[in-house]
Amino acid sequence: MLSFDLTEDQEILRKSVRDFAEKEVAPVAAKLDEEEKFDLDLVRKMGDMGFFGPFVSEEYGGTNVGYVSYIIIVEELARVDGSTAATVAAGNSLGIGPIFYFGSEDQKRRFLPALCEGKRIAGFGLTEPNAGSDAGGSQTTAAFKDGRWTINGSKIFITNASSDLTSVVTVQTVTGRKPDGRPEYSCFLLPAGTPGFTRKKMTGKLMWRSSDTAELYFEDCRIGEDAMLGSRGAGFHQMLKTLDGGRLSIAAMGLGGAQGAYEAALKYARERKQFGMPICKFQAIAFKLADMAVEIEAARNLLYKACWLKDSGKPFAMEAAMAKLYCSEVFGRVAREAVQIHGGYGLMKEYAVERFFRDQKLLEIGEGTSEVQRIVISRAIGC
């Protein structure tokens, strides 16, 4: 049966997240952005609210409410602040996800409870200085000798990886060569305190300025065999599967951000008067707002369908790419028009649309650029 109704629990969840975002995040978002400060207490509060581990079974500390509910959490946070939403999105899809889906029983019980409670967070080490969209170009290596693995290399632009709350980072490495000469990729769970593992906070960002972004360096990091995530050679498959889920959370950030920018523009257009009337009464402005509303509604339906497919155990990779592509680009169009409606005020930091305008750009780049999403979609349709 086709239904567009959320469950009662999901409606309650949306209200509780929105209340939290407006009371706890909105008052500090601009200041945190200006100071490039990653707020540890805010992360802990979100942990107390159950924002981490929504798709994780209760035996490991999660709430097991499903992907639609998870996306609602990210969407409502992004409606107020992209950096805060990024912390939760990356903490779940990229931090918790690989451990929950591919980890051993011991790894799950070791890391997941604290991650799901928001007492700790985890990172996802894929991107390198010379391996971005070409994820298969990783140069970080892991060599096996005397019963232990030694990791050398570096990663860059890794979310949730340099703070005092970071407990572990999933690291993709090259562990050898396949018979056909191609690299063999394997992933490891590297604890934050491992000797030789250096983490450096990245600053001076255009967007997500209060999100934790890091450069990671591995110099002869020695770890045991039990640190490998899943089986040897399964790393590339694990990364691709992780990115499929991550695209849904990035899409949720696009959807929530677009909703926030639209609401700010609508409020301003109703209050701002020119020529003796609110500017929303002028057709040029009214049509902009109408187009925003249409695209946001279309984006929400596309994203929620993709999440429903995942929750139902159906193939969802193509729909996830579509949702990530469309929601991130809708946010771009909405943010630009929101700034335009604000006029000169839209360029000032005291207005939220200025931050929305900056934060949006990352969504067209992170976790697969818009161009990469189009490659994924074109292959899925048989091109």
Task: Give the catalytic positions in this structure.
Answer: 367
379, burial (CB in 10 Å: exposed 0-12, middle 13-18, buried 19+): exposed
Structural contact between residues 355 and 82, judged by C-beta atoms closer than 8 angstroms: yes
Structural contact between residues 115 and 104, judged by C-beta atoms closer than 8 angstroms: no
Structural contact between residues 253 and 78, judged by C-beta atoms closer than 8 angstroms: yes
Beta strand extents in the chain (DSSP E only): 121-125, 141-145, 148-159, 166-177, 183-191, 197-201, 213-224, 228-229, 273-274, 277-278
Task: Please give the Cα distance from 64 to 53 (Å, whole number).
Answer: 7
For 231, what's the count of Cα atoms within 13 Å in the CB-facing half-sphere? 3
Which is it for strands 121-125 and 166-177: parallel, antiparallel or unpaired?
A: parallel
Tell me the C-alpha to C-alpha distance, in Å, between residue 290 and each of 118, 189, 336.
39, 47, 14
Task: Please give the Cα distance from 189 to 138 (Å, whole number).
Answer: 17
Tokens of 338: 């929101």
- Coil, strand or helix at 288: helix
What is the identity of the amino acid at 313?
G
Tell me the C-alpha to C-alpha distance, in Å, between residue 284 and each of 116, 162, 345.
47, 46, 18
Task: Please give the Cα distance from 373 to 383 (Å, whole number).
Answer: 14
In the chain, what is the straight-line distance between the N-terminal and C-terminal CA atoms, in Å? 32
